[in-house]
Amino acid sequence: MKEQFTISIFTENKVGLLHRVTIIFTRRHINIESITASESEVKGIYRYTIVVFETRESVEKLVKQIEKQVDVFRAFYHTTDEIIHQEIALYKIATSSVQNGLGLEKIIRDHHARILSLGQDYIVIEKTGHKEDTKELFDSLRPFNVLEFVRSGRVAMMKEIDNFSDTLHELEKSYQ
């Protein structure tokens, strides 16, 4: 049965590595729902966070194949309840569609969002949360003429303290 998995891949920052990793997904016919790349807590080591809907067996095989890539240190997969995760969303609203602002202000407050930028022609609203939270706010903002909407990929970390952090720090020492 397919379920949601978050895959964390720790790598060197090499040109073309992300392409090589995504090719593995393509060859296995696995769709990437979300992808984020960033520095990790260890200098010189980067982290890709990738969300997929797939069977556990497929994800296990996928992670093993990813770890065979030369510049990949380690790859892990986790179910949603094994991680802490968030996304960020931005919404651009036309100021001409906001009559008195009270309805919009209530929606922003009710969704624990905030106004990020206030221009003459538009308002940019920011919401941090899970995908469902950002979609719910989008649906509430529809009557206000949403000009643009963008959502980041998932950022996630494991709930459990993992010894991999020690491994990363050992790798960092070897690079110095």
Residue 98 CA, chain-centre distance (Å), reads: 31
Convert the pLDDT of each residue in 4-25 to its tens digit. Answer: 999 999 998 888 999 999 999 9
User: Do 76 and 131 share a domain, yes or no?
Assistant: no
Domain span at residue 14 reads 3-83+155-175
| pTM of structure | 0.84
Q: Is the pLDDT of residue 175 over 60?
A: no
Cβ distance 156 to 84 under 8 Å?
Answer: yes
Count of alpha carbons within 13 angstroms of residue 72, beta-carbon side: 21
CATH of the domain at 34: 3.30.70.260
Q: Domains in the chain: how many in total?
A: 2
pLDDT band for position 173 (cuts 50, 70, 90): low
User: Do 74 and 106 share a domain, yes or no?
Assistant: no
Q: Which tokens sit at 14?
A: 């090499």
pLDDT of residue 158: 87
CATH of the domain at 130: 3.30.70.1150
pLDDT of residue 125: 97
The burial class, CB within 10 Å (0-12 / 13-18 / 19+), for 144 is buried
Cβ distance 36 to 155 under 8 Å?
Answer: yes
User: Do 16 and 100 share a domain, yes or no?
Assistant: no
